[in-house]
Amino acid sequence: YTYTFTDCEGNTHDWVYTYTIEREDFTMPANASSTVACPADVVAPTVPVVTDNCGNTLTPSAPVISAMPTCEGNVTYTYTFTDCEGNTHDWVYTYTIDDNIAPTGTTPADLTLQCITAIPLADVTAITDEADNCSGGVTVTVADMNNGGIGCLGNPYIVTRTFTLTDCAGNTTDLVQTITAEDNTAPVFDGALPSDLVLECTDNIPVAPTLTATDNCSVPTVMYDEQRVDGSCPSSYTLTRTWTATDTCGNESTHVQTITVQDTTPPVFTGDLPEDGFVDCDNIPIAPTLTATDNCGNVTITLDEQRVDGDCSSRYELVRTWTATDECGLSSTYTQTIALACHIKIWNAVSPNGDGSNDIFYLEGIDCYPNNTVEIFNRWGVKVYEVSGYENVVKVFSGYSDGRSTISRNELLPTGTYFYVLKYEFSYDGVNGKQNIDKSGYLYIQNN
């Protein structure tokens, strides 16, 4: 400040008062810092308000930013404040980048497979959604461990596949996939399989074919077994053929073919066979010995002969049945029927005393030959009895005369020897073998 003093004469003098202004250095706030996870989280900090000692707000220079680390580290923002006297101070804001958040991803689904060979190769591309909280990228690695199993039922082959996700800060996440290989599928036979057969004992048994099989995991082996079970006879039996396909895990498939061998053909008679016929009772033919053959074995022949009475006492049939039986019990029969007719048998003694024995002149079998005549003569040739259709019941001679010129009817004839004449039409069955038969002889009558 300059003050001028002047006297009356006009003399002047100045009085000067001088202020010396000397600013003091200003005070800075403390540096600041913070911790972030990713470089992308680093932004320009909020700069504090700085004033000089006169209360004037100072404007900092543009910040000086240190190099940004690729993953973790420090980043500084340096702001320089300068007052009007040229006093300068730096205010530093430090970001510490510290990533402690592990990356993320989706674990591939566990797998259950039949075959070890079906297990896919380890491939990091199986993880498709790996991600990290920071933009530095995620590295995926994969490693397998197995339990040493053989991949079979009860002893599976188990792969523990670990995908490791690593970010740039070294944070890791393990994604564990379990892959189980357990073969429980049996082999399958190839092609058409032999079916069950029913054969005759004369048929050729087919040769057992060689079967093959396919397995989902390995090359199977095929074993063959054949068992025979005898039946009730030598020509009857069953062959059971079993093919067993086995894979390396012991899974099995079987195919069974049953061949039933049987004898359904009965024996056949051979040679000339006796024919049916008509014979009289005195000329019955001897039963021949027949022979027979069988397609599969020996034959036993038996003969059965049955008498079948006819419609009268002197006629009957002989039914001869030969049965040829093979070892399986199959049989054929051949039957011969012989129609027999017996000539009349004459009982040439009569004692009509009512004792029931020889009371009549009994002609055995006369009932079969109704076309007949009977004549009886005494010793002098006189006919004492004559009848047509003699039948031992009504038309019957019982020692009485039937009336002649010299002998009265119903007169008891005296004891003595008489002579009979029998004539009748013989036939085997009333139709076949007709012939006229004459028989005559002595008849003794006892009338005492």
pLDDT band at 21 (very low <50, low <70, confident <90, very high): confident
Between CA 99 and CA 172 the distance in angstroms is 11
Q: What local confidence, expressed as pLDDT, does residue 403 receive?
A: 61
pLDDT one-digit tens code per residue, 61-82: 999 999 999 899 999 999 999 9
Fold of 188-262: Immunoglobulin-like (2.60.40)
Share of the chain above pLDDT 90, in %: 83
pLDDT one-digit tens code per residue, 2-17: 999 899 998 999 899 9
14-18, 48-52, 112-116, 153-157: which range is least confident on average? 14-18
Which class is domain 111-181?
A: mainly beta
Q: Write down the mean pLDDT value for the chain.
A: 93
pLDDT band at 402 (very low <50, low <70, confident <90, very high): confident
Q: What local confidence, expressed as pLDDT, does residue 366 receive?
A: 94
14 strand-pairing partners: 4
pLDDT, mean of residues 141-155: 97
Q: What local confidence, expressed as pLDDT, does residue 19 receive?
A: 84
Share of the chain above pLDDT 70, in %: 98
15-29, 231-245, 374-388: which range is least confident on average? 15-29
Residue with tokens 């680390």: 69
State both tokens at 22.
């000397």
Residue 133 has pLDDT above 90, yes or no: yes
Between CA 369 and CA 371 the distance in angstroms is 5
pLDDT, mean of residues 396-412: 74
Q: What local confidence, expressed as pLDDT, does residue 401 receive?
A: 87
Query: Sign of the C-alpha dihedral, residues 366, 367, 369, 371?
Result: positive
Conformational region of residue 39, where left means phi above 0, alpha means psi within -120 to 50, and beta covers everything else: alpha
Question: For domain 32-97, is the CATH number 2.60.120?
Answer: no
pLDDT, mean of residues 298-302: 96
State both tokens at 355.
């004792």
pLDDT band at 181 (very low <50, low <70, confident <90, very high): very high
pLDDT, mean of residues 418-447: 92
Q: What local confidence, expressed as pLDDT, does residue 115 receive?
A: 97
Residue 406 has pLDDT above 70, yes or no: no
Residue 257 has pLDDT above 70, yes or no: yes
Between CA 92 and CA 175 the distance in angstroms is 42
196-200, 296-300, 355-359: which range is least confident on average? 355-359
User: Three-state DSSP class for 100?
Assistant: coil
Q: What local confidence, expressed as pLDDT, does residue 324 receive?
A: 98
- Secondary structure tally for the chain: helices H, strands E: 0, 33
Between CA 433 and CA 80 the distance in angstroms is 163
User: With a threshold of 0.75, does the pTM exceed it?
Assistant: no
State both tokens at 233.
């006879």
Residue 310 has pLDDT above 80, yes or no: yes
Whole-angstrom Cα Rg for the chain: 71
Residue 270 has pLDDT above 90, yes or no: yes
CATH number of 268-341: 2.60.40.10
Q: What are φ and ψ of residue 118, in 5° steps? A: -85, -5
Residue 48 has pLDDT above 60, yes or no: yes
Q: What local confidence, expressed as pLDDT, does residue 354 receive?
A: 83
Say which residue, 357 or 442, is predicted with more confidence: 442
Q: What local confidence, expressed as pLDDT, does residue 190 receive?
A: 97
Residue 34 has pLDDT above 60, yes or no: yes
pLDDT band at 254 (very low <50, low <70, confident <90, very high): very high
Residue 405 has pLDDT above 70, yes or no: no
